Amino acid sequence: MQAVRRRQRTAEDLLSGWQRVMLTTMGDGIGYASRTTLARAASGELSSHAGGTGARLPAHVDLPGMSGFTTVERVLKAFSKAHRHTLLVEMVHPVAVVGRTQRQRAEFMGVLPGTYIHRLRRIREALRDDGCR
């Protein structure tokens, strides 16, 4: 009998899930309050996998990419707010506002392009080290 190989999630898979949930929950800039189910899931209070401890995610929160979202949120907590803002500019904010190139996005944020790229690289490295298990 052959063992079934489970595809390892890459940093890009996790970021894609995070992006999908962020676009869903921040549609009109509303976001979510700190005690909502999404916030509790991001902080690790809730578990949606079988055999996990803690409460399960309600069915209405089972959005595609929720697993990636919680992993990315957990990793982002180790970084500064500037890193979170960089990731939001890169993946969530409208291109018409922040620009198409990383140089334009860095200018939008008021940082050097090297700083912008370094922040994204550090987030992806942290996701590879921590989140892709």
Residue 4 is predicted with a pLDDT of 47
Please state the rounded mean pLDDT for residues 79-98: 91
As for how many domains the chain has, the answer is 1
Question: How many Cβ atoms are within 10 Å of 34's Cβ, its own excluded?
Answer: 10
**pLDDT, greater one: 119 or 132:** 119
Please tell me which residue, 131 or 11, carries the higher pLDDT value: 11
Residue 1 lies in a domain: no
Within-domain flag for 50 = yes
- Region 56-78: mean pLDDT is 71
Q: Report which of 21, 38, 30, 39 is spatially closest to residue 92, judged by C-alpha positions.
A: 21
Range of the structural domain that residue 95 is part of: 11-131
Whether the model clears a pTM of 0.75, i.e. scores above it, the answer is no
